[in-house]
Structure 1
Amino acid sequence: MPINLPRISKLIYEASGNEVWQCFGGEQTLDNIQFVKTNPFVIESNGINYLLTSNKDDNNVAAHDFVLLTSKKPIRKDVNANHLNIKRWLKHPSFVVATPDQVIASWKDKFNFIKENEEANIKGLRPPQMGALHSILAHIQNPEDKAIVVMPTGTGKTETMLATLIANECNKILVSVPSDSLRNQISNKFITLGLLKEFGIVGADCMNPIVGILNSGFQTPQELQDFISKCNVVVSTMDILTGCTNAERTILKDSFSHFFVDEAHHSEAETWKELIAKFDKGKVFLFTATPFRNDGQSLKGKVIFNFSLRKAQEQKYYKEINFLPIREYKKELADKKIADKAVEQLKADIEAGYNHILMARCKDKTRAKEVLEYYQAYPELNPIMVHTGIGGLSKKIDAIKRGEHSIIVCVNMLGEGFDLPNLKIAAIHDERQSLPITLQFIGRFTRTSYDELGNASFITNIAYPPIHDELDKLYARNADWNLLLPRMSANATQKEINIKEFLDGFQNINQSEVPFGEINPAMSTVIYKNSNYEWNPSNWQAGFAGIEGYEYVFSDTNHTDTLVIILGKIEKVEWGSFETVQNLQWDIVVIHWDLRPNINRVFLNTSLKAFSGSTLMDAIFGEGRTSLITGMNVFRIFHEVHRLKLYNVGTKRGIGQDITFQSFFGKGVQDGIRELEQGNLIKNNFFGVGYKAGEKVSLGCSVKGKVWSYQRGNLDELTKWCKEIGEIVENDAIDPNIVLQHTLAIEKTSQRPDVMPTHINWHSSMYEFAEDRFRFNFDGVSFDMADVELNLLNPTTNGSLQFSLDTPQHSVHFELQLGVNAETEEKYFQIIKTNQTDCTVLYGNKSADIRDFFQELTPTIWFADGSQLIQNLYVKLKVFPGVIPLDSIITDTWNSVNIGNESQDIAPYIQDSIQYYFINKIRNDFQVIYDDDGKGEIADIIGINDSDKVIDIHLYHLKYARNGTVGNNIDNFYQVCGQAQKSLKWKHKDGKEFFNHLFKRKTKTLNGVSCSRIVKGTEDDLESLLSQAKFTKPINFHIYIVQPSLSKANASNDILLLLGNVHHYLATVGNIELKIYSSL
């Protein structure tokens, strides 16, 4: 029976769990084994005797040249059954005694720069390894800062470290890693020098380094010093290193010539940062696949080499990635669907001859237990759960590596440092919401350790994608991950490189108390025209009043275009007069000079409030040489900002009306007011959010010249943003009068208006979230906003204001009461629940009784004249609109239709209903038709067309005729007018929310019978529209009222006025022209 022997490694030192090793040869297999004797236990193979013993102090060791340590006393039975566990060599003729210096001496002139050439079958360093090595060696000659080496997972970071050790003949290297598994993996590489000897990169007579493995701390600093003195390389987790005392940290700093930090995207964590700062910057090398962090912090240091993810994929270091999404809005069903899809792919891979392993990753142990149940439905694949703290973890990991389990459910494991090429299928049950973590995670599955292992596959639920926009693109259905992954990583990495290059231009940056790389100002500026072609930034203090009052003053200039001033001042707190309680107020001033052919502008950004920069400009550019750009041209910044929502509007004196309900409480003011509503108001300041060049932007401006955004960025991004703003503001081809605004009359009231209520809306802040943010729980049954709705109860012109919260099975009744407090004379409001149905609302990490919820987030009641009641704030138009234009009314004969029957119900449909008739009337006009009739509907019928540049969505609101007759009963219109007005909210929500709503409700159920709501088109059509709405195409909304009871020829003035109010609202708030379908 053959016996596998471990590599020929000598354990030089062992104490407190820490070890020092040196390798003298590789693994081998003994065959033709003969038993020589059993006491001591000696076997013979090919003429050589081997002593096997479980006692490392065995007296027989001296008499033998080849001695192996076993885990238990060796016996013939175990040898024959191949159950003998050999731990290590105790003695071997190859063992020599050498000091670390002698080892280094053996490396001299033994490194060969052999470059890999696949066509010529030459094995050597790959291009990223060769490039990184040359960059490192060059940096070592002039190390001004910590070096950052960016190499994506799988391109050979560890081998690059090994090559650096030998090529540079490094005296003593400390290697830190974030995990135990990575420590074992990297220490083994250093012990054997990996592939360097096999490929001839390192000479055969070059001694392997003496490697210390730090598994725990030492009792005394002297023990640590002794340990280090025995080694060429020490490998440790960062947790052990950061746990060192100050004395031990000093020993580390003084003992090592180089400090390699692996997976260095962790290095800005406070404990890591403190330790790294102890070392001289020139000693530190940060190796990472992703030089950016989830918390936004960037790595400190100089990027000396950056091999992008795109290049890695182009050069075949990564396999192709298959993205296999599922869409399931019910979270309780999503895990099963993910598991089924992942197992389906696993079985297909196995059938195709690929010995793949599936990993299902969960965010915590509770989720892992839940998810494991779904995989246990496939016992033939032997699913297993692993996480830190689980019993027998090491044995489970070993079993996984042996291929005994085809499915692994894990918690935050099998990532960094876990090298198992067969891991090719990832079932992502809990999304990883950071780009760095995602790239690390994906990298584990796409490495090409063995070409025959095929491609990686990823399965996740795209109904609830991560928050970050970049990952939203990644998780879009049919996304080409092979394209998106490199592009995202390159963008993120390039941002880091850009800021480093920008900061390199500053001369005195290291003297600043505030790290320039961490400055993250709000994007804001005022703009000056400049007539001078020279500047004197060092003279800035001459133009800064009160500079002597600052305790800290620092300034530096980048190249010739950006001056950064940092100021610190001790100030008294505003809430008292104390000598011992004070604030240290920090402020920043950034001046960027944009001087190009035909362009000479200066931008001023500052955190100082009410700061006037005129004297500062005079001091730097000369008196009278700059002039502040003010006035209406500043409003040009809104040029080409599409789907703009204005959140803050300031106006000067005027006569017109701002009919948008958002303006007075900060909700979005809509994207245009038509010419007929304009009055004498003058723009003063605007702030809003919209989309420009496919990206969401926030912009504000004032006639005084200030331009601002809620966006933040580093100093490099600020200067680029300023240049873009300057180009727009001074472009005379742009009309500044692109945004017009009016105001509303607002007053507190203690009485309801004597006007008919038409509809009730959720509190405006609720529309800022996805529909599943709010969950309404009735006796354990939960609904989100897609399946509940608010309705008025028994509306009248002067009765109590009652409303209900309704689901298909439940209804909770309320009353909004208004009054005056007799003691304080303050006007108040309160919500009263008027029936016995209970409901609890869950939102975020809060829960509330439904009455308390509505007391805080009170719905808005709208009235027939366009006014609205928000709690006890009554908001009305100053000038009422007229009747609806008659050309907005379209007539029909309604042949064979029972106009008293509104809904077609479910298949088989009610064919004489208004809905059935109208769907067939418009069937040929749309690519997709959707029946959304029911509680929580957007509209009764939705028609969708997709063109090259825009998605057009048509919302049809239907209402039956009371008594089935045509006439002038205005009660036929209040509800449907309210529905039309309510549906406008969808224009101002993200397009994905609209299509998510349709997906959630894709099945229509009535009395236990179901059918699809998609009357024309397919789910794939909706998927395509969803992706386009997210990332490429704007959406145009069109709204209709379908009411056969109206006679266009004989309509009453009251009805036409009511329709005129809705027409006016949709036009002014949404720039949508209401159309009415009526009878003749």
Structure 2
Amino acid sequence: MNNYFSKHYSAIRYPKQKSNGNGLRNAQIGAIHSINSFFTLRKNKAAIVVMPTGSGKTSVLMMSPYVLESKKVLVVTPSVLVRSQIVEDFGELRTLCKATVFQNSTIKPKVFELKNKYDEQYYNSILEANVVISTPQCALVLSQDQKAQKLFDLVLVDEAHHSPAKTWEEILVNMNLAKQILFTATPFRLDKKEIRGEIIYSYPLSMAYRDGIFGEIEYVPLEENDDKDILIATKAEKVFLSDKAQGLSHYLMIRTNSKKHAAELSELYARNTQLRLKNIDSSKSNKHVKEVVEQLKAGEVDGIICVDMLGEGFDFPNLKIAAIHSAHKSLANTLQFIGRFARTNSENIGTAKFIAMNDSELIIENNRLYSADAIWQDMIIDMSENKTNSEEELKQYFHDFEQRDNKSTNFEDDISLYNICPNCHAKIFKVSNFILDSKFPDLCKITTGVLVNKRENTIIVIGQEYVSPKWSNGDTLNDISHKLFIVHFQQSTNLLFIYSQLKSETIYEEIAKAYCGENNFYKVSRSEIHHVLGELRSFEIFNSGMLNRYAKAGETYRIMAGSDVSKSINPTTGKMFSPGHVFCKAQGLENNITIGYSSGSKIWSSAYLTIPEFVKWCDFNGTKIANPNITVKTETNYDLLPVPEELKQYPDNIFMWDFGGDTYITPPVFCIEQEGGYKSTLLDADLRINKINHAFISLTIYINGNTQELICNTSGIYSSKLDTIFLKDGRKEVSIAEYLNQNPLSFRTSNDILIIRNEVHKGDPNSIIFDQSNIKEINWKQYGTNVNNECNGKDSIHSALETILISNSSYSYIIYDHSSGEIADFITVEEMLNSFEVSLFHVKGMSATQYNSSVSDVYEVAGQAVKCLIWLKNKGTLINKIAQRRKSNKCKFLSGDHKGFLDSLKQNKPLVGRIIIVQPSISKTIPMPEKIQEVLGASNHYIRSSGSAAHFEIWGS
């Protein structure tokens, strides 16, 4: 019997359907020839056949082993009821003989129905059979037996949209040496898992309708009412009786989603109608279900109350009225359900009717399916075909990916691209070069290979992360976590999008470096990334971060979260803050979206998308980012925040630089050995601006007799001709340039502009006003001071200032801290009734020959004054910094002692800061050049706006 199908191959015929109904439909002929054609080219690839419910899939399924001349066939069906139907039909070739595909005299195949889980007792029966028909649970055990599975050379799966489920998937994997054909009306699932295989034939629902296979359908709506079940029941009876009166042989299905509700409906219909109904659900025996079906077909009952039964594969075209008490929640199940009622292969049947409440219970594919104004015929066809077409496009998209490495494992054997749905998140770089065939960084620990789509400029990689368990202090044990990486280059905008579950700047930059080369990629400016909010309306801003353009010690970054945080922004906020990050909901061209961006050149959304959808999302936002003509208007108070502009050239009125906040919190240590180890931090270094050019800033860093020059270009990238000084940043040893590229300096101008990396934050230059009343005149001659001598000897400015401060009895503590990395040259603490007033004095000697004549005399000391605000952030910060300075013998108490200082500041009184510049070259009585006024005015404005110093003063001459 092993050659049964080959022997009867010549007996098969392909008659076209005649007016009497005999013969094959166009869909069946197309499908069977597609199957035969496919397997002449591909022996080990699963074929998917898409045919609408009622178009004759079962006949094509039964013809397949003949045209493929198979030896033994395993048919997997979704239910016991369908299994029984196919056993009977296949064993008698009833449908195929009726269609005259075979003559009635044709020898029939030997069919074995596997009703129980496979064991050895069934082996001989299977050996003798041509066809074995089983449900998934029984077929799974069969497929796990190596001896039994080798008997089969063809597997046919009925209703294959179940195949991604664990049981079905394992059967197909176990039987991977056999040809596989998957039959379905809906090649997609609610869980978005892939039906693996190639769609070789897809017969659209619109053609099934045109060819008379998919019949007329009609929605019978009921107005929304609390008595939903009673109204549906009485309406169902009216429709049933009306159809009967017209001579139509129609029967009824009452559909719900739970056994409990089915029992309640049984009583409700008995009380309110005269319909003869029987209940069917999974708790009933197969014998009971068969008896009810026979009673239904015999007209002994009017209908059935059903909980997900008599669905897939069940063929009873007279089932024409559906009373829907609980609707399906997925498109696939809905289409399968509707297909049961739209069959046309019977006499005395008319339009299928669906009775449901016109409420908002169900929305499928963004369509309110049970809607009174819905043109069901068109809507169901469009929804089905659009979804099927998108599935076909998805498979073609993934087909374009090629594995580009020498990994022994095949990516798609381990992981289906179809099942990868990343959350929308991307780091974006502007690039000047992109090489698709580059090697992916080893840092990501690739496990399954690199997949490349040349047409889309997209790379997909899965890597590993090794993390010690939280309960382990050692590094001998590691948990392995798989991480997804997606790289996409949008050629039209020269933007590179990187998705990485490891949100590390090092990872992002290593990937960009691998595909673009060193120094060929740059972050997108905030002014450009802000464009992602363009072309949207009806904004609701859920989360917003705002950068304080002035505060170093107080509130440097404000984060607000809520239903619409834009209402908390006012004009005063706009004068102080720039947008840092934002996340919002807004109305797009077609639907609502969520979108967010950050100053770190990242965009994100709350959506989870397939890979092609993710690429489209990147391209959509990339096009907006690169469009200079986009104007963003949220029509909320968020528009009050001035968006930073991209730095085109450096202004020539920069008067100070400063470290970033992270540097102050965790300053890196210089790799310069000192007694007792590495002691000097970056905060101890002297960093000076040498030259400001429109294209770059030149700086020099000095530490312990070592120097190194740095260049910062308008992209905010630091470089050096020769790296001589290195830092320990955590566990890594990095150059100064590498560190500053991750932790950039900020620069301030005298007209209230803040520059960070390649972004220009403009303030309010009109608010910068120089007030000469801020200058306090000191009679330096009285103290015998050489105003050119800053700190050496008794005639120095330091000596005079010490005398002045000590003579002031209101100071409880006076601290001298003059050396690299200082808090200030002098620190005084005055204990007030309700506060502690801490004054920081910064001293600079006079280098010019005339008063108010040298800008350089002012620049350095003004910069020091502004930078020291960080130490006034709170009492803890000041206490810790002084402790560090004392530990390295770099500060001493001139008045009071350290213990008393600590005890005093730990009292429950707030700290009030004062900043004093001590510069004898500044005169209150001599006219002052505008340039010096700008610097002093800017310092005053910034210090007073910082929130951590209440007073700014200049001690001059």
TM-score (ref. length: structure 1):
0.54
Match for residue 175 of structure 2?
A: 279
Report deviation, 1:433: 0.8
Match for residue 428 of structure 2?
A: 527
Match for residue 631 of structure 2?
A: 735
Aligned ranges for residues 581-592 of structure 1 at < 5 Å?
582-592=478-488
Which sections of structure 1, spanning at least 5 residues, go unmatched?
1-98, 656-661, 745-1080
Match for residue 109 of structure 1?
A: 10
Which sections of structure 2, spanning at least 5 residues, go unmatched?
551-557, 641-957
Q: What whole-Å deviation, never above 9, does each CA across 1:218-247 have from its counterpart, x for those lacking one?
A: 5x42x322112222111111122224484x
Determine whether 1:458 maps to 2:358: no
Q: What whole-Å deviation, never above 9, does each CA across 1:360-394 have from its counterpart, x for those lacking one?
A: 11212210111122321466432222223347443
Structure 1 distance, partners of 2:374, 2:233, is: 21
Match for residue 501 of structure 1?
A: 396
Match for residue 47 of structure 2?
A: 147
Determine whether 1:137 maps to 2:21: no
One-letter code aligned to 1:231: A
Match for residue 680 of structure 2?
A: none
Q: What whole-Å deviation, never above 9, does each CA across 1:465-489 have from its counterpart, x for those lacking one?
A: 13x5427521233212212212222
Report deviation, 1:578: 5.0
Structure 1 distance, partners of 2:318, 2:569, is: 61
One-letter code aligned to 1:340: T
Q: What whole-Å deviation, never above 9, does each CA across 1:141-174 have from its counterpart, x for those lacking one?
A: 2134222222121111111112222222222111
Q: 1:686 to 1:571 in 2, by over 3 A?
A: same
Match for residue 933 of structure 1?
A: none
Q: What whole-Å deviation, never above 9, does each CA across 1:831-857 have from its counterpart, x for those lacking one?
A: xxxxxxxxxxxxxxxxxxxxxxxxxxx
Determine whether 1:702 maps to 2:598: yes
Match for residue 477 of structure 1?
A: 372
Match for residue 362 of structure 1?
A: 256
Report deviation, 1:572: 0.7
Match for residue 165 of structure 1?
A: 65
Match for residue 199 of structure 2?
A: 303
Q: Secondary structure at the match of 1:688?
A: strand
Determine whether 1:383 maps to 2:277: yes
- The alignment yields a C-alpha RMSD, in angstroms, of 3.0
Q: 1:208 pairs with 108, 116, 124, which one?
A: 108
Structure 1 distance, partners of 2:327, 2:575, is: 51
One-letter code aligned to 2:34: S
Q: 1:105 to 1:152 in 2, by over 3 A?
A: closer
Match for residue 588 of structure 2?
A: 692
Report deviation, 1:680: 4.4
Retained in 1: the 8 A contact 2:446–2:462? Answer: no
Structure 1 distance, partners of 2:583, 2:394, is: 28
One-letter code aligned to 1:339: A
Is the deviation greater in 121-130 or in 295-304? 121-130
Q: 1:687 to 1:451 in 2, by over 3 A?
A: farther
Structure 2 distance, partners of 1:345, 1:677, is: 66
Q: 1:669 to 1:420 in 2, by over 3 A?
A: farther
Report deviation, 1:737: 4.8
Report deviation, 1:403: 1.3
Q: 2:224 pairs with 314, 325, 328, which one?
A: 328
Structure 2 distance, partners of 1:604, 1:592, is: 7
Retained in 2: the 8 A contact 1:341–1:459? Answer: yes
Report deviation, 1:446: 0.8
Report deviation, 1:553: 6.1
Aligned ranges for residues 974-989 of structure 1 at < 5 Å?
none
One-letter code aligned to 2:418: G
What is the percentage of aligned positions where both structures have the same residue?
29
Match for residue 516 of structure 1?
A: 417
One-letter code aligned to 2:31: A
Structure 1 distance, partners of 2:454, 2:65, is: 37
Q: 1:524 to 1:347 in 2, by over 3 A?
A: same
One-letter code aligned to 1:649: S
Match for residue 257 of structure 1?
A: 153
Structure 2 distance, partners of 1:301, 1:279, is: 14
Structure 1 distance, partners of 2:373, 2:545, is: 44
Report deviation, 1:700: 0.8
Match for residue 621 of structure 1?
A: 516
Q: Which has the larger radius of gyration?
A: 2
Q: 1:232 pairs with 118, 127, 130, which one?
A: 130
Determine whether 1:607 maps to 2:497: no
Q: What whole-Å deviation, never above 9, does each CA across 1:408-461 have from its counterpart, x for those lacking one?
A: 212221212322211111111112111111111111111111264111111222
Q: What whole-Å deviation, never above 9, does each CA across 1:882-907 have from its counterpart, x for those lacking one?
A: xxxxxxxxxxxxxxxxxxxxxxxxxx
Structure 2 distance, partners of 1:574, 1:739, is: 47
Q: 1:693 to 1:487 in 2, by over 3 A?
A: farther
Q: 1:241 pairs with 136, 139, 143, which one?
A: 139
Report deviation, 1:258: 0.2
Aligned ranges for residues 892-971 of structure 1 at < 5 Å?
none
Retained in 1: the 8 A contact 2:194–2:416? Answer: no
Aligned ranges for residues 276-675 of structure 1 at < 5 Å?
276-280=172-176, 283-328=179-224, 330=226, 333-377=227-271, 380-390=274-284, 392-450=288-346, 452-466=348-362, 468-470=363-365, 472-508=367-403, 511-512=410-411, 513-532=414-433, 535-541=435-441, 546-547=443-444, 550=445, 552=447, 554-560=449-455, 561-574=457-470, 576-578=472-474, 582-596=478-492, 599-612=493-506, 613-653=508-548, 664-669=560-565
Structure 1 distance, partners of 2:16, 2:294, is: 35
Match for residue 127 of structure 1?
A: 26
Q: Secondary structure at the match of 1:649?
A: strand
One-letter code aligned to 1:128: A
TM-score (ref. length: structure 2):
0.61
Structure 2 distance, partners of 1:462, 1:663, is: 44
Q: What whole-Å deviation, never above 9, does each CA across 1:472-523 have from its counterpart, x for those lacking one?
A: 5212332122122122222332332222212212223971243322211112
Q: What whole-Å deviation, never above 9, does each CA across 1:94-143 have from its counterpart, x for those lacking one?
A: xxxxx453x3354142223333465xx78532222222212211222213
Retained in 1: the 8 A contact 2:152–2:178? Answer: no
Structure 2 distance, partners of 1:646, 1:704, is: 19
Retained in 2: the 8 A contact 1:435–1:471? Answer: no
Q: Secondary structure at the match of 1:474?
A: coil
One-letter code aligned to 1:107: H
Q: Secondary structure at the match of 1:404?
A: coil
Q: 1:514 to 1:730 in 2, by over 3 A?
A: same
Q: Secondary structure at the match of 1:409?
A: strand
Structure 1 distance, partners of 2:446, 2:614, is: 27
Q: 1:674 to 1:393 in 2, by over 3 A?
A: same
Report deviation, 1:721: 1.4
One-letter code aligned to 1:429: H
Report deviation, 1:580: 7.0
Structure 1 distance, partners of 2:364, 2:587, is: 13
Report deviation, 1:687: 0.9
Structure 2 distance, partners of 1:742, 1:729, is: 19
Q: Secondary structure at the match of 1:341?
A: helix
One-letter code aligned to 1:345: V
Structure 2 distance, partners of 1:298, 1:264, is: 11
